[in-house]
Structure formats: structure tokens, C-alpha cells
Structure 1
């Protein structure tokens, strides 16, 4: 029986076991996917002993994605560009391979929920300059988005994030958001604002163009205040849960040999778990 896991610190909140468990049952595969609490001091030892622990691979969540990148033996081109991995698997020689599937998750979610968004997006604005923003930048660049902007509370963090990018990325502080909104085709929130237990987003989006698409990588709550406001204004919105589900697909295929589908049944199952208040 093949076994895989998700590692992080903290880890109790992870819904990855729910997602992979759903697929294992649906596909009739005798396998196990579980949470493992791994602190930073234990990370190297855990990964080197992955096979000894009985695992064929693992997902990596906060705060270990960058550290895990430096610990695996082989990485994909995308993982090297992002300098972070979230999916690890063992080959037949016992070597650790690492990939970053966040780009796939982001793009697949938008493709599924907002078909045609690529053709209609010339200008995209990312709110926030945290760890996930680098993956969003890579995703947008791969789609040929002509103009990408980052709005963050401080310019210093945004500047550090875009340093070394192969293309020009415009940066600005959040107070300039209102003047930029009329030009934006795609608005992406990567901050924790609006997440359960966090402050509201705190900015107005009433100047956003009528055909703009608004997406939020936050998925607890399923509809963040930003998405709720955009929907009220008649804008197309895409929540963050789909990104979580789609980014899990490549790892499952590596470990269990079947490529699963992100279905409405899976979405409802995870959404129901979120609705019970398990944040």
C-alpha cells in the first residue's frame, strides 16, 4: 500500500488529507495520505528518511517550501524559477524530486471557472507581495499577460520580490489602487486580508471596470469580503478553493499512478468541511 503525506508547521488545519482521501476512495486505490507535523529543525532528516518512514512522497506547506527546495536532489525548471517546492516524490533510485504545482493550480482554477480569461486579460494587478505572489507572477507571465502590477503596503518588499524578474513588473503602494482599477482586467488578492480571523481588505474597488475578473487565493471563507463585494457589483469572481484542489492533482498522479479529476463532488465535499467552521 502506497503512503504519502503533507508536512508543515502548523499542519492540523491542512485539508490535503480530505482531498487525497476523496480521490483514493473514488479511484478504488488502496493508499494512505496523512498529515505529519514537521518543524524546521526536523525537515532535513524527515525528507532524507522519507522512504524509511514508508512514504513515496509528500506535499510541503508553510513554512518549509523554500527550505525543501534546497534539500531535494532534483527539481523542475519551474521549481528552480520559484526557488520553492510543494510536491516531492521518490524515484526508483531513492532520489528526491521536487516540483511547484501552485502555478498549475492557479491557472487551472481560472481556466475552469472563467473560460476565456486568458484572451481577455491584458493587465493584471496582484494585491500583496508574499510568498505566493512569485507563483502568480510566473503563471501570468506564462500566459502572455502584457502588463503586471503589484500593489503592496510597502514598496521595499514588492521591489525585493520582482528583483531579477526577466520582465518588467510595476510596483506601487496600496493607496494608489483606486487610480489603477479602471485599467485592470484581472484583480488577484494574495494577502491574508479577508481570511477568517484577519481584517477586511480595507480598500474600495468600485472603479473596477465592468468586465474585470476578481479572484482571491484565500479559501476560508469560501467567499471573502473582496469577492462578495465584487459579486455585488456584478463582476465575475473566482474563489481560492479551486486552486487548492487543482494544485493537488500532479502530486497524486506521481504517488498513486492515476491522474484524478477536480469534480463538483470534490468541491462540495471540501466546501462542506469549510462550512462547518474548520478553519
Structure 2
């Protein structure tokens, strides 16, 4: 019967997914699937393993297959910028995209919501956080760190200290983001925390299977807010020590959840709530 319907009357549930390699570790399918069920929305969200040499071809074909968008993870977050038709200012500034929207004409729009997710996580879990209360200190200079730096500066941080094991990468971020940044040698990371009001681990150190993040925290003020982008485990040794020193801490899971919300809204038409149930589903 449906074969006799004119094309305008055939409606397909929107498709979205996450592109990466490897992709089996991603929590995004579980998260978006939960939101689709929770709000009774038509749609599907699937993991899509893609080798770098196939990325351009896959992106060209996804809109034709009914996809309305996709999240992008390692190792494709930089490469998609060169393949997109339009790129938001923040994605261009960060140098990476994590959210794609496929327009009806097949054009690809690239955005980066990592910085939004980072700030939304802080504001949800430390509502009295004031970005201009003192310097921010960011450990790391990779793609995630760039998103954090951009969002902290945008939020009103007046001085941002940054360090990285390879100092050149931190210097490159300073060159791009400007005079509010102060670069510290990796050996001075303990000094960087002195007087800092907001402290961020934006490296993968401390993640399960990785080396721990070894930072002398003697100079850390108990008034500081300390957060870690790592969320496996939720309580990293870095957060555990900060908490023992009296600091407020915010784990990294909320950033993952909040960065997913804008894309979900664009693809499926409903802004999802990030609450305790959402956290529980993401951790299962």
C-alpha cells in the first residue's frame, strides 16, 4: 500500500550516529537512545566505525541514507572541518568539530559543542562558580583543552594559565587565543596552581589504562573549583586529592552529557534534560 503513496507522504524517522575509529567504547548510542525513548521520539542513533581514508565518502553518502547529523570523535574531529560546507566560528577557533548537521540539500554544517558542555557541567554542579573570581589553570593543550580555553575566556576568565608536556603546543594556543594566556613549563605545574580559582585537567592522564596525573598540589587553594575531563573513573586521583584539600570538585561525565544535548535537539527536535537519570544511563 505504501508503494502507492506519492514521495511527499513517505516519512522516514531521522537517523543520527557517532563517527570514529574505534567506536565501540562510545557512550553516545546509549545516551541518545535513552533520550529518544524517554521523549517518545521517532529516530535512531547508531555507532559508525569509519577509517580515516573512508571519511569523505561516508560523509557524502550519509545525507542520502536519511542521516540528519552525527557526532564526531577520535580521530576525525579535525578532518571533518576540511570536509564541511560551513563551519561555526567556535569550531574554527578550536580547530575541531564534534557535531555535524546535514542540511536537506546535503550540505554539511560543522560545530563544536565541547566548550558549551564544559561550562554547562560547571554551572550545573557548581552553581556559584564565578569565572572572573581568579585565574584559571588548564593542564593539557590538545583538542579538548582548546575547547576548554575558548569557553573559559568566553565566560569571562581574565587570566588563563596553561601547561603541556610539549610546551610548543601550549605556546601555539597562546598565539591563537591571545594575551590573557600565560604559558608555564610542565615542571612548573605546581606553581601554576598557586592562586588559581578554577583548575582543569584537560589531558587523558588519570584515565583507566593511562598513566596517573602527577601534579604537586601543595599550592592549591581550598577555595578553588577543580574539574577533570576524564570520567573513567569518575573520581580520578586528581579529583580525590583536590577534594581532600577542601576544594569543590566536578567530574567529567557532565561535560559528555551536556555537549550531546545541542546536537540531539537539532536532529530530533527536542532539547533533552541532563539529570540524575541521564547520568545513571550513561554509566551503565
TM-score (norm 2): 0.92
Task: Please give the alpha-carbon distance, in whole angstroms, between the structure 1 residues aligned to 2:255 and 2:199.
Answer: 15
Task: Please give the alpha-carbon distance, in whole angstroms, between the structure 2 residues aligned to 1:229 and 1:41.
Answer: 43
**Corresponding residue for residue 200 of structure 1:** 212
Task: Confirm or deny that 1:46 pairs with 2:36.
Answer: no
Task: Please give the alpha-carbon distance, in whole angstroms, between the structure 1 residues aligned to 2:221 and 2:27.
Answer: 35
**Corresponding residue for residue 203 of structure 2:** 191
Task: Confirm or deny that 1:76 pairs with 2:66.
Answer: no
Superposition pairs of residues 213-228 of structure 1, within 5 angstroms: 213-228=225-240
CA contact (8 A) 1:219 1:239 kept: yes
CA contact (8 A) 1:60 1:87 kept: yes
**Corresponding residue for residue 16 of structure 2:** 4
**Corresponding residue for residue 156 of structure 1:** 168
Task: Please give the alpha-carbon distance, in whole angstroms, between the structure 2 residues aligned to 1:138 and 1:71.
Answer: 23
Q: CA deviation at 1:83?
A: 2.4
Task: Please give the alpha-carbon distance, in whole angstroms, between the structure 2 residues aligned to 1:182 and 1:172.
Answer: 12
1:119–1:79 distance in 2 versus 1, CA, 3 Å? closer
Q: Secondary structure at the match of 2:47?
A: strand
CA contact (8 A) 1:118 1:143 kept: no
Superposition pairs of residues 100-111 of structure 1, within 5 angstroms: 100-111=112-123
CA contact (8 A) 1:187 1:214 kept: yes
Task: Please give the alpha-carbon distance, in whole angstroms, between the structure 2 residues aligned to 1:166 and 1:157.
Answer: 14
Q: CA deviation at 1:119?
A: 4.9
Q: CA deviation at 1:174?
A: 2.4
1:255 to 263, 267, 273: 267
**Corresponding residue for residue 79 of structure 2:** 67
Higher mean C-alpha displacement, 73-82 vs 40-49? 73-82
Q: CA deviation at 1:177?
A: 2.3
**Corresponding residue for residue 137 of structure 1:** 149
Task: Please give the alpha-carbon distance, in whole angstroms, between the structure 1 residues aligned to 2:58 and 2:104.
Answer: 19
Q: CA deviation at 1:270?
A: 1.5
CA contact (8 A) 1:106 1:247 kept: yes
Question: Would you say how many aligned residue pairs link Structure 1 and Structure 2?
Answer: 272
1:179 to 188, 191, 196: 191
2:30 to 6, 18, 21: 18
TM-score (norm 1): 0.94
Task: Please give the alpha-carbon distance, in whole angstroms, between the structure 2 residues aligned to 1:143 and 1:230.
Answer: 23
Greater Rg, structure 1 or structure 2? 2
| Superposition misfits of 4+ residues, deviation over 6 angstroms | none
Give ranges in structure 1 of 5+ residues lacking alignment. Answer: 274-279
Task: Please give the alpha-carbon distance, in whole angstroms, between the structure 2 residues aligned to 1:181 and 1:171.
Answer: 12
Q: CA deviation at 1:216?
A: 0.3
Q: Secondary structure at the match of 1:248?
A: helix
Deviations 1:248-270 (A, max 9, x none): 00100111011111011111222
Deviations 1:186-227 (A, max 9, x none): 110011111000111112213211110100000111111100
Q: CA deviation at 1:140?
A: 0.7
Task: Please give the alpha-carbon distance, in whole angstroms, between the structure 1 residues aligned to 2:120 and 2:91.
Answer: 18
Q: Secondary structure at the match of 1:243?
A: helix
Give ranges in structure 2 of 5+ residues lacking alignment. Answer: 1-12
